[in-house]
């Protein structure tokens, strides 16, 4: 089950965190990976790990905010790997603050990556998928696209847009053999979390990590690999009847 042999998968933000975990899990199931990341060195490190384990992966430096870079990256994917058969729009930014604590520059910065980046990558991938008879797009949303989360105004706005883009793509392209879903995680322990804590709460990292963990009723943050295994299901043929859906993976947040 969940065999991705012969399929080319593009993962944005594939150099760390959830994106890197998805790349490793997909490669273990036979996928050919292209890791797009602003930090090409980080993506190259993950790609090297995958190749060392016998998988196939390449790193491409790409700023998902830039239409020309996105177009060039997907042209290279099509030329070198075929497809793509799978696109995982994972690259994203976080901002902490309510509406009064959100500057115009904050809103623009998050929009450029979290919304425009998803748009540009999906727009580049869809004609290639249509030409080959189908494909799968998986977007990384958030529980903040489903419920109100304190002090996440700009982040929630962008992830709400990701959720509705997911439904729109699903409706527009299902007759062309393309499925589109999104995953809505609660807090997941990634290097982004550790960097945020060290910057915002120097000397109090452990205390604040525990506080963030306890937001989830299960008492901990999610692990990137747990999100990656849900992504594997949604991008595999076992999920062939699933499209236009938002899948929470939230440690019980939505049921309390």
Q: Domain ranges in the chain?
A: 8-186+223-249, 189-221
Cα 121 to Cα 65, 98, 117, 118: the distances in Å are: 9, 29, 6, 5
User: Cβ distance 87 to 122 under 8 Å?
Assistant: yes
| pLDDT score for 155 | 97
User: Cβ distance 89 to 121 under 8 Å?
Assistant: yes
| CB-based burial, 3-28: b 16+ in 10 Å, e otherwise | ebeebbbbbbbbbbbbbbbbbbbbbb
User: Does residue 155 have an active-site annotation?
Assistant: yes
| pLDDT score for 25 | 98
Choose, from 111, 155, 201, 247, the residue flagged as catalytic. Answer: 155
CA-CA distance, 5 to 8, in Å (whole number)?
A: 9
| pLDDT score for 15 | 97
| pLDDT score for 29 | 98
| pLDDT score for 129 | 98
Element (H, E) at 248: strand 246-249
* Nearest CA-CA partner of 170 in 118, 247, 244, 246: 244
| pLDDT score for 45 | 98
For every one of its 256 residues, what pLDDT tens digit does the chain have, with 9 covering 90 and above? 999 999 999 999 999 999 999 999 999 999 999 999 999 999 999 999 999 999 999 999 999 999 999 999 999 999 999 989 999 999 999 999 999 999 999 999 999 999 999 999 999 999 999 999 999 999 999 999 999 999 999 999 999 999 999 999 999 999 999 999 999 999 999 998 999 899 889 999 999 999 999 999 999 999 999 999 999 999 999 999 999 999 999 999 999 8
| pLDDT score for 192 | 87
Residue 251: which region, alpha, beta or left (left: phi > 0; alpha: psi -120 to 50)?
left
Which class is 8-186+223-249 in CATH? alpha beta
| pLDDT score for 242 | 98
pTM: 0.96
| pLDDT score for 196 | 86
CA-CA distance, 92 to 172, in Å (whole number)?
A: 24
User: Cβ distance 204 to 161 under 8 Å?
Assistant: no
User: Cβ distance 215 to 193 under 8 Å?
Assistant: no
Task: Give the number of other Cβ atoms within 10 Å of residue 120's Cβ.
Answer: 25
């Amino acid at each position: 089950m969940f065999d991705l042999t012969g399929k080319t998968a593009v993962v944005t933000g594939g150099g760390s965190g959830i994106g890197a975990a998805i790349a490793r899990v997909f490669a273990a199931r036979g996928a050919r990976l292209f890791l797009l990341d602003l930090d090409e060195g980080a993506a190259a490190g993950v790609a090297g790990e995958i190749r060392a384990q016998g998988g196939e992966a390449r790193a491409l430096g790409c700023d998902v905010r830039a239409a020309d870079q996105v177009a060039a990256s997907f042209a290279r994917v099509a030329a070198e790997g075929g497809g793509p058969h799978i696109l995982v729009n994972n690259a994203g930014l976080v901002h902490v603050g309510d509406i009064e604590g959100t500057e115009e520059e904050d809103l623009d910065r998050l929009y450029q990556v979290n919304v425009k980046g998803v748009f540009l990558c999906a727009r580049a991938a869809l004609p290639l998928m249509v030409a080959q008879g189908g494909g799968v797009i998986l977007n990384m949303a958030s529980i903040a696209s489903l419920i109100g989360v304190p002090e996440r105004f700009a982040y929630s706005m962008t992830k709400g847009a990701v959720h509705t883009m997911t439904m729109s793509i699903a409706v527009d392209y299902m007759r062309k053999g393309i499925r589109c879903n999104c995953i809505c995680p609660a807090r997941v322990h990634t290097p982004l979390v550790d960097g945020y804590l060290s910057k915002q709460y120097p000397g109090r990292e452990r205390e604040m990590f525990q506080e963030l963990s306890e937001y989830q009723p299960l008492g901990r943050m999610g692990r990137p690999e747990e999100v990656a295994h849900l992504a594997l299901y949604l991008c595999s043929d076992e999920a062939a009847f699933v499209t236009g859906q938002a899948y929470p993976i939230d440690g019980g947040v939505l049921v309390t």
